[in-house]
Structure 1
Amino acid sequence: MSMSLDLAAEVFREAMRETVKRYSLWYLVEGVLLVVAGILAIIYPVISSGAVVILLGWLLIASGLLQGLSLIGARQVPHFWLQLISVILAILIGLLFLRDTTQGLMTLALLLIIFFMMEGISKVVFALTIRPFPNWGWVLASGLVGILLALILWASLPVTAVWLIGVLLGVNLISIGAAIAYLAWQVRKSDAATPTQPPA
């Protein structure tokens, strides 16, 4: 029996909404930690640009691992593979930052452009998948911010400062973290407000 495209889309959305509800605590913790990582990425280049590449590498790895945790048990949802690619990309770029801290700013900027673009696209797809989930627009906005940051960094080439890379990475992590944390918080709040049905 064939299923209409609209019905299939609704089934996928419902699966995604259930996943967000089930793992809302993980999403909340992930969001808060990403915001903290974003603040560090913004503050650190201003204080000392000497070791900023190492810090950015570790922040990318940490953000990749945190977002990877949110994918546990979510293999059946439509955005899984795109989100997984984004997670792997964050970890790989972080490892590249740590492996050779002397590489040129141009290389770092190009790697981050790819990361921002993939992360932005995956968040846009994620947001469109869970709509009309309450507050799905925040996740959509964080994805659009990622795409915008990629374009800003691209426009600044070939002259790119270390502090700009740090600030843009920080803004990206804060926007993703805030959107995910807010979504998870609202889900947990609405679940707590919903009275449980007595068994029949």
Structure 2
Amino acid sequence: MTDISDRLSFSSLQSKWGWFVALGVLLIVCGFIAAGNIVFATVASVYYVGMLMLIGGVVYLVHAFQVRTWEQVLFWALSGVLYVLAGVFAFMNPLLASAALTLFLAIALLIAGVFRTWVGWRMRPLKGWGWVLLSGIITALAGVVIYIGWPVNSLWILGLFLACDLLIQGWSMLAFGLSIRR
């Protein structure tokens, strides 16, 4: 039974191959636009994060008045206010917000890289452990490089990550769409 549903699912995907190709092309074009103006892409990514924080803050505030006890209302309302303030801050001063986000990115990459390196080292008896170790070292080094260049690089790091993500996603959607066409 799952074989039939898998074939039907693939068939419905296959009939939409053009949408995947169109999405891929659109994402690639957006990636090139972002790569052409990295500072603008950085500001756009800060505005995106700011909008998400504003929406999250409003949801927290609405949720705050759905809970029963005063302690919980206070906790959720304070969380919501902090999210809203952070979102407003991102819109009021996107360059300073990009500096903060870039610093957080550097710290997150460093921590993730150190953790992945440790996991890779612990996997030593298993085949392929070196790839996990190498990936952790590269991730940690990326965090260190970003931290060393901070705050100056905060004008372009987020935009570069956005451009790379758009290009990679675009190429993958394009390749997927073309592969299911056949």
TM category (shorter chain) comes to: 0.3 to 0.5
Structure with the bigger RCO (C-alpha within 8 Å, sep 6+) is 2
User: What TM-score, normalized to structure 2?
Assistant: 0.44
- As a proportion of its length, which structure holds more helix? 2
User: What TM-score, normalized to structure 1?
Assistant: 0.41
